Amino acid sequence: MFNLRFRLVVLAAICIANQLSLSFLDRAAAQDDSDRIYQFEETVVTAERMENSLFESTAAVSVRTSAEMEFLPLKNLAAALETFPGISFLHRDGLGRDPLATLRGFYGGGEAEYLLVMIDGRPINELEKGLMNWSAIPLASISSIEFLRGGASSLYGDAAIGGVVNVVTSGEYGPLTQISATGGNFGSLGAQARTSGLWHGREYVAFGSGERYAEFRDHADRAAENLGGSLTLRQKPNGSLAVSTTHHFQQFDEPGPLTGAELDDDRSQSTPFYKFDHTADRTHRAAITGDYNLRDRAKFSGAVSGEIRDSDAVRTLQLSPEFADTKNRLLTASRLTSSLQLTLDQLGLLHKDRLSLGIDAGVHSLSSEYYQFLLGGLADYSEMSAVERGALEEKGTSTRRSAAGFLQYELTPMQTLRVVLGVRADIIRDQFTPKSPSEGEEQSTTHAELSPKAGANFRYVKTERHVGNLYANVARSFKAPTLDQLYDQRSIIFEISPNPPFKVLLSSGDLNPQFGTSIEVGGYHRAVLFPNLLYGELSLAAYTMDMKNELDFDLQQLKYVNISKSRHQGIETGLRFRVKSNLNLFLNYTHQSAKSQIGEYAGKFLKAIPRDVIYGGVNAAHKSGLGGSIVVKSANRIFLDDANAITLPNYSTVDVRLKYQVGLVAATLDVFNIFDQSYSTTGYPDASGSGHSYFYPAAGRHAHFGFQLQH
């Protein structure tokens, strides 16, 4: 009933908004057009790897600033990304601290990522699986977020198949210091700080954060700390040079999924199989970036970054409702990456053109050890109160060496038309060397991929009241298998009497990259509907993408495989209205349809992916200092199995933020899931054939109270 009411409200809001804009557009055009305060276009970098107008992009791209997110109830970066059309998150921990991204019909299930995430232009996805640690970028560090949706391999190469997120930590700041602290249900405590200004004439930014959560489920404690900053060493009209560093520490327990019967009994419980699951890791990153303007029409830019990460993780693989295997993995990952780019303006071939060419290179290393921990049935786990790490079972070293060259040429044959042609060539060489006691020979594989793109943007209107652009593109993108998918040495020992025991590896060294060709069309329109009163913005994208060799985990074989072909189609739309400068209404609708194209499940939807996602609400601020927002999220039509026989119930939630500011001090109250809905965002069927399904329950109503000081 709640979902039905919400849909009716959404449909009514859309109809009213359309009628208002259509009925009064002509009248607004006749009124005083002196309103110039509405910003028609932003400048973004991520879409083209160089500065360009957002509306002139040949792909779906959006941008949010920290000021735009100030009045929204957000827990972390993933929650901030949900304010964009085209992306949603599934949660395994119940409070949104362990999110898994799904976009354009791609979902890695916690074993891979189809979203490339960067901080100030440098990739930070984890090396072994490509996953994103969303607690590694505190909200206090964010100046703005740029989100490019769709395949972007022509510029960013591997993994940029669903989209690219670039978090910008620097900005046009004067001396500023912000300090905040929060507390709430489930033992949640947090603090964040950010300061920026000048140090001996050089611009700097520094930030830090710490948080603790007991979670709403048993065995689900979580803690994370971050430190980071940047310092501009040189800032001249002809170039700049800056250094930056980030340090992240986290540890967390994992409660695991619950069966339907366990959910009915107690949503907050954790089954004994996961009672020992715990992860502790630390990550250190450093980078140096710079650019140099050669005369007026040439610009060099480059970066060198390094990272080292250590992880100690105890993880359980539940093989049936009555049997599980738990192992302890020690991991050390390191990488060194570099990039160099040259941009040439006004080559003279046409009225207005620009050429960008560059190279990317990286060396990645992964050392992994697996130790025995616990293997057995439910009684074995229930009886054990403590377990010591056992003997070393597997050991090995993986490396990835990558090199790429890219070229993009943009031309403007007429004032209203912009054309972009680009191509990137990637070479990736992976290698695995087993170490004692692991058996087997050294493995290696090399993949070479070419990723072309062609796009166009046409401006159909530009007046003092309206800006409107249409775009289209065709692109080829790819994703190479991760090092874990290729070479992870986690094994399962099966004993089936009277046969001798045999070992199964989850990885597969003969995996191929998955690739696809996409066609996308879309547009942007902004308008002053009523001068000095009402402003509107509409973005729309429609796409189709045919994938081949798509990577997935086969529950029957307990192995990663290429599942041949699938088709991804969808629509992403965002509608925003602003009333004066203190009231905003927003509504995003995302439809994604991803179907298998071959085999037993041809024509079936890919599992765990919501086909309809709605994000909408309103935020407002009053001159008295009181402000806040109401946000509604809804996900619908989700299948949990390949045969589309098991459906996850639709769910909707309402979150609220209240904020009151007096001078330099502000107080906030966030209430999440205010109607105390019982729901799960994801799950999966038992692979052993028991007929059970497992779910990850979300928390009921909970609140956070916070203070903020800004100077």
Per-position DSSP letters for 11-62, written without gaps between them: HHHHHHHHHHHHHHHHHHHHS------S----EESTTTTS-EEGGG-SSEEE
* pLDDT(131) > 50: yes
Q: How confident is the model at residue 617 (pLDDT cuts 50, 70, 90)?
A: very high
Is the per-residue pLDDT at 25 higher than 60? no
Least confident of 20-24, 171-175, 378-382, 426-430: 20-24
The 8-class DSSP code of residue 415 comes to T
The end-to-end CA distance of the chain, in Å, is 47
Q: What is the pLDDT of residue 35?
A: 44
> Would you state the pLDDT for residue 40?
56
The pLDDT of 425-438, averaged and rounded, is 95
Mean pLDDT of 279-287: 96
* pLDDT surpassing 90 at residue 34: no
| Residue showing tokens 């609140």 | 703
CA distance 3 to 658: 24
Per the model's pLDDT, the better-predicted residue between 31 and 626 turns out to be 626
- Band the pLDDT of 501: cuts 50, 70, 90: low
The stretch 598-614 carries a mean pLDDT of: 92
pLDDT score recorded for residue 172: 54
pLDDT of residue 108: 85
Whether the pLDDT of residue 182 is over 80: the answer is: yes
248-257, 345-354, 651-660: which has the minimum mean pLDDT? 345-354
Six-digit token string for 262: 């366990």
Between the CA of residue 423 and those of 156, 268, 318, 359, 409, what are the distances in Å?
A: 10, 50, 44, 12, 9
CA dist 184 and 181 (Å) reads 11
pLDDT at 417: 94
Is the pLDDT at 6 greater than 60? The verdict is no
Residue 644's pLDDT is 95
- pTM assigned to the model: 0.90
Q: Tell me the per-residue pLDDT of 261-270, one tens digit each, with 9 for 90 and over.
A: 999 999 999 9
Q: CA Rg, the chain, in Å?
A: 26
Is 154:406 a contact under the CB 8 Å cutoff?
yes
Query: What is the band of 31 on the pLDDT scale with cuts at 50, 70, 90?
Result: very low
Indicate the pLDDT class of residue 237, thresholds 50, 70 and 90. confident
CA distance 218 to 186: 11
For the cut 80, the answer to whether the pLDDT of residue 674 exceeds it is yes
pLDDT(349) > 80: no
**Per-residue burial over 275-310, b = 16 or more CB atoms within 10 Å of its CB, e = otherwise:** bbbbbebebbbebebbbebeeeeebebbbbbbbebe
**What does the pLDDT average to over 595-621?**
93
Q: Does the pLDDT at position 29 exceed 90?
A: no
- 224/31 Cα distance (integer angstroms): 54
Our separate counts of H helices and E strands in the chain read 6, 41
Give yes or no for residue 359 having a pLDDT over 70.
yes
Q: What is the pLDDT of residue 32?
A: 39
Q: What is the pLDDT of residues 515-564, one digit of tens each?
A: 999 999 999 999 999 998 999 999 999 999 999 988 877 766 777 888 77
100-132 burial by CB neighbour count: b if 16+ within 10 A, else e?
A: bbbbbbbbbeebbbbbbbbbbbbbbbbbbbbbb
Name the residue among 711, 638, 646, 617 with its Cα closest to residue 69: 617
More confident position, 38 or 194: 194
* Cβ atoms of 507 and 487 closer than 8 Å: yes
* pLDDT bracket for residue 2 (50, 70, 90): very low
What pLDDT sits at residue 26? Answer: 36
Give the span between the Cα atoms of 338 and 328, in whole angstroms.
Answer: 33
- Mean pLDDT on 71-84: 92
Instruction: Express as a percent the part of the chain with pLDDT over 70.
Output: 92
Residue 169 is predicted with a pLDDT of 85
* Residue 13: predicted pLDDT: 36
Judged against a pLDDT cut of 80, whether residue 27 lies above it is answered with no
| Contact (Cβ atoms closer than 8 angstroms) between residue 59 and residue 471 | yes
User: Is residue 144 predicted with pLDDT exceeding 70?
Assistant: yes
Q: Which two tokens stand for residue 600?
A: 């037993």
CB-CB neighbours of 555 under 10 Å: 15
Mean pLDDT of the chain: 88
Residue 37 pLDDT greater than 60, yes or no:
no
Residue 493 has pLDDT above 50, yes or no: yes
